[in-house]
């Protein structure tokens, strides 16, 4: 067997190996991007739920204050919960915007 024959015999498998390497690299990158988007959606859903709960707490506190005729500290707690949830949500949106721009 000569060097040329050996080279011709190895060439197809070498080409396929290089092609598979490139394809696997693309798949890995695509999978990482998909995972990052899924994690961002999960975090956004949790923050949105926290905002909804804070809003519900505020609605309940206002309703109870109206029923009793005075605020009993529930409204202040609800406002604090809402402001914390809103700050987290806005921080998340800013983070996503920054990631998108980069």
Q: Rounded CA gap, 101 and 32, in Å?
A: 18
Query: Is the pLDDT at 22 greater than 90, yes or no?
Result: yes
33-75 pLDDT, tens per residue?
A: 999 999 999 999 999 999 999 999 999 988 988 888 887 788 8
CB 82 within 8 A of CB 41: no
Rounded to whole angstroms, the Cα distance separating 14 from 10 reads 6
pLDDT at 101 over 90: no
Phi-psi region of 73 (alpha: psi -120 to 50; beta: other; left: phi over 0): left
Task: Choose among 81, 47, 86: nearest CA to 61.
Answer: 81
Taking all residues of the chain, what is their mean pLDDT, rounded to a whole number? 90
The residues spanned by each domain of the chain are 50-102
What's the length of the chain?
A: 102
- pTM, to two decimals: 0.67
Distance CA 55, CA 65 (A): 15
Contacts for 61 with CB less than 8 Å, ≥ 6 apart? 71, 74, 75, 77, 78
């Amino acid at each position: 067997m000569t060097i040329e024959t050996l080279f011709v015999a190895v060439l197809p498998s070498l080409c396929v190996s290089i092609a598979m390497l490139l394809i696997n690299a693309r798949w890995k990158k695509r999978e990482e991007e998909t995972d990052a988007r899924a994690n961002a959606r999960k975090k956004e859903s949790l923050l949105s739920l926290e905002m909804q709960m804070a809003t519900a707490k505020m609605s309940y506190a206002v309703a109870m204050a109206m029923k009793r005729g005075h605020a009993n500290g529930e409204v202040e707690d609800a406002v604090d919960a809402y402001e914390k949830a809103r700050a987290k949500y806005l921080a998340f949106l800013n983070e996503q915007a920054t990631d998108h721009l980069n």
